[in-house]
């Protein structure tokens, strides 16, 4: 990524957690990378790039804070927030409301030091579940019987969201996310970029469960209220002729496979094609191509 941004370059910045980051797939297979390639194919004469600022484990507040720290340098034309169901419980676990970023301990720190962050430790059972279909299936069945979803903190809130059940905790989480997205909208106004939400669906919805969930509906109402656009890849994922399990990493509820990422990228590019007002610079490219 060049800084300052070269004149004429169209820059799309993507925020999110491990789903947008592309956990489990190669860098070239993420929807960010595939979106960039797709847009370049659609606009061969344009200088386009997609910058992936997603960080595994981040919640919406951290994502917006990261953008705000770097927005003057990034000079984005469009910012996309990859929103996933666990962003709601995560926003209540995100206790550092007065801080931005992630705090890590490092011995003998020096100016400019590169820090390599290791994955969070997991239990022996979780490690075995990644290696064995039998262990994973048995553990998943037990957690389902206990109504714990994936058995992780916040899973019950995600189930409430998908099953359209109200709760005080869920409403508190929505209020927190609303404040964070208001902050994003203010930054968009101050720095003159378009901002929108990519609603990333969990595996269950792609498999046909929870067709009338409040998840997409609530996010769309919130976005309309704030003047943000919404891109919903769920219809494209559901309509795909491919086997639905192939759209996700094996044994993983959250993270799309390369094919899943491709469908998400196509949904975003198709939205841009039909909403040129979202990204006026792309409209200008389309007009110049038609003139040629």
C-beta of residue 213 within 8 angstroms of C-beta of residue 162: yes
pLDDT digits (tens, 9 = 90+) for 116-128: 555 555 556 555 5
Mean pLDDT of the chain: 84
> Is 261 in contact with 29 (CB distance < 8 Å)?
yes
Q: What is the DSSP string of 83-109?
A: E-TTHHHHHHH---TT--S-----TT-
pLDDT digits (tens, 9 = 90+) for 199-217: 999 999 999 999 999 999 9
CB contact at 8 A, 204 and 84: no
Query: pLDDT tier at 275 (50, 70, 90 boundaries)?
Result: confident
CA distance 243 to 201: 16
Q: Please give the pLDDT value at position 249.
A: 93
Q: What is the CATH number of the domain that holds 247?
A: 3.40.50.1110
Is position 240 within any domain? yes
pTM for the full model? 0.81
HSE-CB for 18 with a 13 A CA cutoff: 18
Residue 127: its pLDDT value, please? 55
What is the percent of the chain where pLDDT is above 90?
63
Domain contains 119:
no
* Planar angle of CA 32, 129, 34, nearest 5 degrees: 10
Q: 191 pLDDT exceeds 50?
A: yes
At 43 the three-state DSSP class reads coil
Task: With CA atoms as reference, report the closest residue to 158 among 88, 63, 59.
Answer: 88
How would you classify residue 151: left for phi > 0, otherwise alpha for psi between -120 and 50, otherwise beta?
Answer: left
Which pLDDT score, from 0 to 100, does residue 210 have? 95
Residue 147 contacts residue 191 (beta carbons within 8 Å): no
pLDDT of residue 45: 79
| pLDDT tens profile 59-114 | 999 999 999 999 999 999 999 999 999 999 988 876 554 444 445 555 666 666 66
Is 208 among the domain residues? yes
- The answer as to whether 264 is a domain residue is yes
Asked if the bond preceding 4 is cis, omega within 30° of 0, the reply is: yes
Comparing CA positions, the residue from 149, 155, 150 lying closest to residue 169 is: 155
Give the structural domain span for 21: 10-88+174-291
Provide mean pLDDT across the span 163-186.
Answer: 95
pLDDT at site 291:
55
pLDDT of residue 42: 87
Report yes or no on 128 lying in a domain. no
Give the pLDDT confidence score for residue 34 in this predicted structure. Answer: 98
Question: At residue 231, does pLDDT exceed 80?
Answer: yes
Question: What is residue 44's predicted lDDT score, i.e. its pLDDT?
Answer: 85
The per-residue pLDDT for 162 is 93
For residues 235-258, average pLDDT: 93
- Whether 21 has a pLDDT exceeding 60, the answer reads yes
Where do runs of H (alpha helix) occur along the chain? 18-21, 31-42, 60-74, 87-93, 124-131, 133-145, 155-162, 168-191, 203-206, 214-226, 234-239, 258-274, 280-291
Mean pLDDT of the 212-237 span: 96
pLDDT bin (cut points 50, 70, 90) of residue 19 is: very high
Asked whether the predicted pLDDT for residue 16 surpasses 60, the reply is yes
**Which residues in 95-105 are b (16+ Cβ under 10 Å) and which e?**
eeeeeeeeeee
Q: How far apart are CA 256 and CA 239, in angstroms?
A: 16
Per the model's pLDDT, the better-predicted residue between 233 and 254 turns out to be 233
Phi, psi of 106 (to 5 degrees): -145, 125
Instruction: Count how many domains the chain has.
Output: 1
């Amino acid at each position: 990524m060049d800084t300052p941004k070269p004149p004429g370059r169209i820059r799309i910045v993507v925020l999110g957690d491990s789903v947008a980051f592309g956990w489990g797939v190669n860098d070239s297979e993420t929807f960010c990378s595939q979106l960039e390639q797709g847009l370049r194919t659609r606009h061969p004469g344009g200088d386009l790039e997609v910058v992936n600022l997603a960080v595994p484990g981040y919640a919406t507040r951290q994502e917006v804070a990261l953008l705000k720290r770097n927005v003057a340098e990034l000079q984005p034309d469009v910012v996309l927030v990859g929103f996933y169901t666990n962003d709601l419980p995560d926003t209540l676990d995100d206790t550092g409301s007065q801080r931005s970023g992630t705090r890590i301990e490092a011995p003998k720190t020096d100016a400019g030091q590169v820090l390599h962050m290791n994955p969070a430790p997991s239990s022996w059972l979780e490690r075995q579940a990644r290696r064995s279909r039998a262990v994973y299936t048995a553990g998943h069945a037990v957690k389902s019987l206990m109504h714990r979803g994936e058995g992780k903190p916040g899973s019950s809130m995600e189930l409430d969201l998908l099953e359209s059940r109200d709760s005080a905790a869920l409403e508190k989480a929505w209020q927190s996310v609303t404040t964070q997205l208001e902050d994003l909208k203010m930054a968009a106004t101050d720095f003159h970029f378009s901002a929108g939400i990519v609603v990333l669906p969990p595996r269950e919805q792609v498999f046909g469960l929870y067709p009338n969930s409040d998840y997409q509906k609530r996010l769309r109402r919130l976005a309309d209220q704030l003047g943000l656009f919404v891109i919903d890849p769920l219809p494209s994922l559901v309509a795909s002729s491919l086997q639905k399990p192939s759209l996700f990493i094996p044994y993983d509820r959250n993270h799309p496979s390369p094919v899943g990422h491709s469908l998400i990228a196509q949904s975003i590019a198709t939205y841009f094609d039909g909403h040129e007002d979202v990204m006026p610079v792309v409209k200008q490219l389309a007009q110049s191509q038609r003139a040629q």
